[in-house]
Amino acid sequence: MALPQQKQVFDATAYLAWEAEQPDRNEFMAGEVFAMVGVRQAHNVATLNLASQLRTELKGSPCRVFIESVKTRIEAADCFFYPDVVVTCDARDRATPEYLSHPLLVVEVLSDSTAAFDRGNKFAAYRKLESLQEYVLVDLAARRIELFRRNAEGHWVLYEYNAGDTIEFASLSLRVPVALILEDTEEETEKPGSDPV
């Protein structure tokens, strides 16, 4: 999730120039920038688990898989986001090395601080991408994955998957076991008064 920076108003061109000089990532929404915060280890593991599987399955195809540090532009919503995992199969995205504009699949791994935004305003913005076919939310706390798929009428339909299920990415003609995505994401909590090892 992004936290609000000091009030700065940019257009997309100014944001891209400014962002290129920043030491940390910042998302952009309707003229405002929001600093990206760090993530827990489990968040990063789930991101890598899914991205690695997608990369392996899509090797040799025109599709490319990116994680965390590649921006996605939603021109119709005047936004730039850094999705956890994004897949594009559109050759036009090779012409804009700073960002993608035609993703097929976007994945966000939820955290306490990002869940409401990822389900609400961010999804509302992503839905304006004509290319987007699937929007996926990985809920580590609930051990569940929610996949929203655009149907033939342009409506978004929710499909829920639990730990024992296999998720279908219809946009990519791929199936991935949910257990593989959630692998090694359980967090141990330190007991109060115990000495860290």
Whose CA is closest to 127, among 150, 96, 110, 147?
Answer: 150
CATH 3.90.1570.10 fits 40-182, yes or no: yes
Q: What is the pLDDT at residue 1?
A: 47
Quick one: pLDDT band at residue 195, thresholds 50, 70, 90? low
> In terms of residues, how long is the chain?
197
Dihedral, CA of residue 75, residue 148, residue 67 and residue 100, to nearest 10: -20
**pLDDT of 7 higher than 70:** no
Look at 10-14, 117-121, 150-154, 188-192 and tell me which has the smallest mean pLDDT.
188-192
Q: Tokens 């109060």 — which residue? A: 192
Quick one: pLDDT band at residue 189, thresholds 50, 70, 90? low
Q: How far is CA 102 from CA 88, 126, 130, 171, in A?
A: 6, 11, 8, 13
Q: Kindly list the domain boundaries of the chain, sorted by start residue.
A: 40-182
Q: What is the mean pLDDT of residues 148-152?
A: 96
Q: Which residue has the higher pLDDT, 3 or 187?
A: 187
pLDDT in tens, 114-143: 788 888 889 999 999 999 999 999 999 999
Q: What is the pLDDT at residue 38?
A: 74
The rounded distance, in Å, linking the Cα atoms of 146 and 161 is 6
Q: What is the mean pLDDT of the chain?
A: 90
**pLDDT of 194 higher than 60:** no
Q: What is the pLDDT at residue 184?
A: 94
Quick one: pLDDT band at residue 165, thresholds 50, 70, 90? very high
Q: What is the pLDDT at residue 62?
A: 97
pLDDT in tens, 23-76: 999 899 988 888 887 778 999 999 999 999 999 999 999 999 999 889 999 999
